[in-house]
Structure 1
Amino acid sequence: MRAFLIPDFESPPRLVELPPVPPAAGEVTIEIEACGLNFADLLMSRGKYQERPEPPVTLGMEMAGTIIRLGEGITGLVPGDRVAVFNGQGGLAEEANVPAERCLKLPEGMPASHAAAFQVAYGTSHVALAHKARLQPGERLVVTGAAGGVGLTAVEIGALMGAEVVAIARGPEKLEVARKAGATHLIDAESEDIRGQIKALGGADVVYEAVGGELFNQCFRATNPDGRILAIGFAGGEVPQIKANHLLVKNLSVIGLYWGGYLAFRPSVLTDSVAQLFDWYAQGRLQPHVSHELPLDQAAEALELLRQRRSTGKVVVRMR
């Protein structure tokens, strides 16, 4: 089978041929149809992600496909089941062995490109907004990186939950994508005085912040008393330093979220969240946005789309 892996942290990823491996007890083999890419894949390829598996490592954190083989002790799944899996690695390959407990059966009619783009982006935003920030109808939600893989889902879910969504993204084309996803107000990330623009709208009750650096600081200063700031990621490359005295004076909460971390200590948060999201999808209330689909032999180009921020929504790699 073909797989796109990093041989070491000093070398670029490459497409190689690997022999298929039978699934171990408790595992199933997935014939992968599609893999959704995430900014974390770029970090992992350089050994800078919070989870640092030793190379060689096949990239691709989330995948969708069909079960073709079962290891010992598997119940509730059979060959032919179409599933989505968050495995942290292994998705950029034609096959993968994954723990059966991580397999989620797909809603009827859900295409592989949507399923592969679904779990991390929608899961991160739903857990962040519903479980961590307790977003309420009528609150003003500011989303940075609002046309990106996770940011766009935050716009969509925030609007679905009844919030007044302020989208911050770079350029009119990305802002238009955010508007179509449900944003009420649009702010260009390259404009001056972003803090002032947010304050003019009435300030932020909740901030979904995925960029970091000066943009985090601007949003922090525009957050209303008793507001909540969700630290989702630092796609801009700079981790902000938070002034604790400002938290105290304005009664602010800064809330960190590492979606995949719940697998280790409270997986029910993720399974309950995905169940809700799949239900919304089945009702037609969520519309995944995939801006690029590329074949496996163009996986390097697909990652470059993320690196250069030329995509909106998700980038998906298809195996066939």
Structure 2
Amino acid sequence: MKAILCKEYGPPEKLVIEEVPSPEPKKGQVVLGVQAAAVNFPDVLIIENKYQFKPPLPFSPGGEVAGVVKKVGEGVTRLKVGDRVIGSCGWGGFAEELAIDEARTTPIPAEMDFVTASAFLMTYGTSHHALKDRAHLKPGENLLVLGAAGGVGLAAVELGKAMGARVIAAASSEDKLAVCREHGADETILYPTGALDKDQQRELSDKIKELTGGQGADVVYDPVGGDYSEPALRATNWEGRFLVVGFASGPIPKIPLNLALLKGCQIVGVFWGAFTGREPQRHQENLKELMTWFKEGKLRPHVSRTYKFTEVAEALNDMAARKVKGKIVLVP
């Protein structure tokens, strides 16, 4: 089988495509024939040795796939050959075949194709856990989503609407904001890219307050970090919840903690991957709700482009440059 391999850390151009032996399932595992593999920001980090998980070299990036069960190992009870599943693997997904624990798979509904399935679980799972379990978002509250046209951001826009919130989407270009409006955003904010000076930060805070009647956002969903976090926190409502989701802009911000004191607000971490392992029952309940909302048409995953395996460097560079709207997917 063919696999995209990281044999030395570096930029996407250092990845190679090679023939490797097909995997055999260990106890409790199945082998998937990969039909689609979503590209996520951690894939950019892991090949440069900048991610919290560091698999031994060589390895295939790719933490989210959709495919068909080809083989089952000893002790597998839930799956059989031919089943269509989503696989959450951490890495290893940019390959034609993947051995994965049965417990890390989720059945694909009949209404969902492989490309959509590969792009669904990580983004919607993260945003659903953030808004439901960490922020306890209530109907009628103002939800501000930074980086709203990205994978988790656009999922948060849709989920916020499904949960009855008034959604303010913030992104760096008009075409990105147009996608946000197509997916339900009530209001939008255009902010500049790159480092923000003090005036630009103040303008961002003022715009958030203006769109919330001077009160500020009840919940801030922040997968961006950098210079965008502090002005968003400054525009948080009394007893608001500021969700720390990620740092797509690069720098991890240093926040003046007196802001949390003055606003009586919470700064809340979101680590969906750890949540799924620590609380598998609640994760399954959340997953059931997400699949129900998908079947009801409340969630419409946006895949802006698919790439061939030979275009993996282009796909990862597009992700790193924040050119992606929604999700992008590799297709073997």
Is 1:273 paired with 2:286?
yes
Of 127, 133, 136, which aligns to 1:134? 136
* Aligned residue number for residue 7 of structure 1: 7
Q: Distance in 1 between matches of 2:73 and 2:217?
A: 50
Of 304, 310, 314, which aligns to 1:297? 310
* Aligned 1:75-94 pairs, distance under 5 A: 75-94=77-96
Is 1:197 paired with 2:199?
no
1:160-201 superposed Cα distances (whole Å, 9 cap, x missing partner): 111111110011100000011111111002194110000112
Look up the equivalent residue of 1:20 and give its one-letter code. Answer: S
Quote the offset at 1:246 in angstroms: 1.9
Q: 2:80 aligns to what SS in structure 1?
A: coil
Is 1:206 paired with 2:208?
no
8 Å Cα contact 2:151-2:327 kept in structure 1: yes
Q: Distance in 1 between matches of 2:112 and 2:133?
A: 25
1:38-68 superposed Cα distances (whole Å, 9 cap, x missing partner): 1011011111111122221111000000001
Q: 1:65 aligns to what SS in structure 2?
A: strand
Look up the equivalent residue of 1:174 and give its one-letter code. Answer: K
Quote the offset at 1:109 in angstroms: 2.6
Quote the offset at 1:264 in angstroms: 3.3
RMSD over aligned Cα atoms: 1.2
Q: Distance in 2 between matches of 1:310 and 1:76?
A: 39
Quote the offset at 1:278 in angstroms: 1.0
* Aligned residue number for residue 45 of structure 2: 43
Q: Distance in 2 between matches of 1:272 and 1:51?
A: 27
Structure 1 runs of 4+ aligned residues shifted over 6 Å read none
TM-score, length-scaled by structure 2: 0.94
Q: Distance in 2 between matches of 1:315 and 1:223?
A: 32
* Aligned residue number for residue 176 of structure 2: 174
Quote the offset at 1:100 in angstroms: 0.6
TM-score, length-scaled by structure 1: 0.97
Q: Distance in 2 between matches of 1:18 and 1:37?
A: 21
Of 220, 235, 245, which aligns to 2:258? 245
Q: Distance in 2 between matches of 1:66 and 1:123?
A: 21
* Aligned 1:75-114 pairs, distance under 5 A: 75-114=77-116
Uncovered stretches (5+) of structure 1, i.e. residues with no partner: none
Q: Distance in 2 between matches of 1:276 and 1:263?
A: 15
Q: 2:151 aligns to what SS in structure 1?
A: coil
Of 251, 255, 276, which aligns to 2:268? 255
Percent sequence identity over aligned pairs: 41
Look up the equivalent residue of 2:71 and give its one-letter code. Answer: R
Quote the offset at 1:234 in angstroms: 0.5
Look up the equivalent residue of 1:144 and give its one-letter code. Answer: L
